[in-house]
A and B are shown apart, each in its own frame.
Chain A
Amino acid sequence: MLSYILHRILMLVPVLFGVTLVSFLLLHMVPGDPAEILAGQEATKEAVDRIRAEYGLDQPLAVQFVRFVWNAVRGDLGISIQSRHPVGELLFQRLRFTLQLSLASILVASAMGLVAGIISSTRQYSIFDNASMLGALFGISMPIFWLGLLLILIFAVRLHWLPSGGTGTLRHFILPAIALGSASAAVIARMTRASMLEVTRQDYIRTARATGYRERVVIFRHALKNAMIPVLTVFGLEFGYMLGGAVLTETVFSLPGIGRLLVEGIFARDYPVVQGAMILVATTFVLVNLLTDVAYAFFDPRIRYE
Chain B
Amino acid sequence: MRRTWWIFLSALLIGAVALLPCAWAASQPQSGGTLVYGAGADPDSLDPANTDSNPGEAVGRMMNNFLVRFDAKLNLLPDLATKWTQSKDGMTWTFTLRKGVKFHDGTPFNAEVVKYNFERFLGSEKPLKASLHDPIIKSVEVVDEYTVKFNLKVPFAFFLNNLAHSATAMVSPAAHKKWGKDLTLHPVGTGPFKFVEWVRGDRVVLERNDEYYEGKPRLDKIIVRTVREDSARVLGLEAGDYDLIVRIPPEEVGRLMREGRVRVYAEQSNRALWVKFNVTKKPFDDIRVRQALNYAVDKESIVRNIYQGLAAVIPTLVGPLNNGYAPVKGYPYDPAKAKQLLAEAGYPTGFKTNLFTPKGRYLKDFELAQAVQQQLSAVGVEAALETSDWGSYLAALRKPPAENKADMHLLGWSPSTAEARWGIYPISACDQLYPRGSNLGFYCNKALDDLIGKAVASTTLKARDQNLREAQELLVKDPAAIYLLATKETVGMSLKLHGVINSPLELVYVDKDTWKDR
Residues of A within 8 A of B (CB): 30-34, 36-47, 50-51, 80, 82-85, 90, 93-94, 149, 152-153, 156-157, 160, 163-167, 251-254, 256, 260-261, 264, 267-269
B232, A157: Cβ atoms under 8 Å? no
A31, B128: Cβ atoms under 8 Å? no
Residues of B within 8 A of A (CB): 42-45, 52-53, 126, 128, 130-131, 181-182, 184-185, 199-203, 225-229, 231-232, 235-236, 238-241, 388-392, 394-396, 398, 411, 413, 416, 426, 434-438
With beta carbons under 8 angstroms apart, the residue of A39, A44, A85 that contacts B52 is A39
With beta carbons under 8 angstroms apart, the residue of A33, A46, A166 that contacts B202 is A166
With beta carbons under 8 angstroms apart, the residue of A38, A254, A256, A269 that contacts B229 is A254
B202, A39: Cβ atoms under 8 Å? no
A165, B201: Cβ atoms under 8 Å? no
With beta carbons under 8 angstroms apart, the residue of B241, B436, B438 that contacts A166 is B241
B226, A256: Cβ atoms under 8 Å? yes
Q: Which residues of A contact B181 (CB under 8 A)?
A: 84
A43, B201: Cβ atoms under 8 Å? no
B239, A156: Cβ atoms under 8 Å? yes
20 additional A-B pairs beyond A30-B392, A32-B392, A47-B128, beta carbons within 8 Å, are A30-B391, A31-B392, A33-B394, A36-B394, A37-B394, A38-B44, A41-B394, A41-B438, A43-B52, A45-B434, A83-B200, A85-B185, A93-B199, A149-B232, A152-B235, A157-B239, A165-B236, A165-B241, A267-B389, A268-B391
B201, A256: Cβ atoms under 8 Å? yes
B226, A254: Cβ atoms under 8 Å? yes
Q: Which residues of B contact A43 (CB under 8 A)?
A: 52, 128, 131, 438
Q: Which residue, of B185, B235, B240, has the highest number of chain A Cβ atoms within 10 A? A: B235
Q: Roughly how many angstroms separate A264 CA and B396 CA in the complex, as a whole number?
A: 20
A83, B45: Cβ atoms under 8 Å? yes
Q: Roughly how many angstroms separate A261 CA and B200 CA in the complex, as a whole number?
A: 9
Q: Roughly how many angstroms separate A261 CA and B435 CA in the complex, as a whole number?
A: 32
B437, A85: Cβ atoms under 8 Å? no
Q: From residue A272, how far is it (CB to closest CB) to chain B in Å?
A: 13
Q: Roughly how many angstroms separate A81 CA and B200 CA in the complex, as a whole number?
A: 13
B232, A31: Cβ atoms under 8 Å? no
Contact A42:B438 (CB < 8 A) given known A47-B128, A157-B238, A256-B202: yes
Q: Roughly how many angstroms separate A37 CA and B228 CA in the complex, as a whole number?
A: 18
Q: Which residues of A contact B201 (CB under 8 A)?
A: 94, 256, 260-261, 264
Q: Which residues of B contact A33 (CB under 8 A)?
A: 391, 394-395
Contact A167:B202 (CB < 8 A) given known A44-B436, A252-B232: yes
Q: From residue B78, how far is it (CB to closest CB) to chain A in Å?
A: 27
With beta carbons under 8 angstroms apart, the residue of B231, B391, B426, B434 that contacts A31 is B391
Q: Roughly how many angstroms separate A40 CA and B52 CA in the complex, as a whole number?
A: 6
Q: Roughly how many angstroms separate A39 CA and B53 CA in the complex, as a whole number?
A: 10
Q: Roughly how many angstroms separate A37 CA and B52 CA in the complex, as a whole number?
A: 10
Q: From residue B197, how far is it (CB to closest CB) to chain A in Å?
A: 11
A84, B182: Cβ atoms under 8 Å? yes
Offer 20 A-B interface pairs, CB within 8 angstroms, sorted by A.
Answer: A30-B391, A31-B392, A31-B395, A36-B391, A37-B394, A38-B128, A51-B128, A80-B200, A84-B184, A85-B185, A85-B200, A149-B232, A156-B235, A160-B239, A163-B239, A164-B241, A165-B241, A254-B229, A256-B199, A264-B201
B200, A90: Cβ atoms under 8 Å? yes
B52, A165: Cβ atoms under 8 Å? no
Q: Which residues of B contact A267 (CB under 8 A)?
A: 389-391
Chain B residue at smallest Cβ distance from A51: B128
Q: Roughly how many angstroms separate A157 CA and B259 CA in the complex, as a whole number?
A: 14
A157, B44: Cβ atoms under 8 Å? no
B394, A83: Cβ atoms under 8 Å? no
Q: Which residues of A contact B185 (CB under 8 A)?
A: 84-85
Contact A44:B389 (CB < 8 A) given known A85-B185, A253-B232, A254-B232: no
Q: Roughly how many angstroms separate A252 CA and B396 CA in the complex, as a whole number?
A: 31
Chain A residue at smallest Cβ distance from B261: A157
A82, B44: Cβ atoms under 8 Å? yes
B395, A152: Cβ atoms under 8 Å? no
Q: Which residues of B contact A36 (CB under 8 A)?
A: 391, 394-395, 398
Q: From residue A205, how far is it (CB to closest CB) to chain B in Å?
A: 49
Q: Which residues of A contact B44 (CB under 8 A)?
A: 38, 82-83
Q: Roughly how many angstroms separate A166 CA and B131 CA in the complex, as a whole number?
A: 38
Q: Roughly how many angstroms separate A256 CA and B438 CA in the complex, as a whole number?
A: 34
Contact A45:B435 (CB < 8 A) given known A33-B391, A36-B395, A260-B201: yes
A164, B235: Cβ atoms under 8 Å? yes
Q: Roughly how many angstroms separate A82 CA and B202 CA in the complex, as a whole number?
A: 15
Q: From residue A210, how far is it (CB to closest CB) to chain B in Å?
A: 57
Chain B residue at smallest Cβ distance from A38: B44
A252, B229: Cβ atoms under 8 Å? yes
A42, B52: Cβ atoms under 8 Å? yes
Q: Which residues of B contact A82 (CB under 8 A)?
A: 44
A37, B229: Cβ atoms under 8 Å? no
Q: Roughly how many angstroms separate A166 CA and B203 CA in the complex, as a whole number?
A: 9
Q: Roughly how many angstroms separate A43 CA and B416 CA in the complex, as a whole number?
A: 13
Q: Roughly how many angstroms separate A236 CA and B94 CA in the complex, as a whole number?
A: 69
Question: What 7 pairs between A and B have smallest CB-CB spacing?
Answer: A32-B391, A256-B201, A40-B52, A45-B435, A156-B239, A256-B202, A164-B236
Q: Roughly how many angstroms separate A136 CA and B413 CA in the complex, as a whole number?
A: 49
Q: Roughly how many angstroms separate A166 CA and B426 CA in the complex, as a whole number?
A: 39
B411, A83: Cβ atoms under 8 Å? no
Q: Which residue, of A34, A42, A84, has the highest number of chain B Cβ atoms within 10 A? A: A42
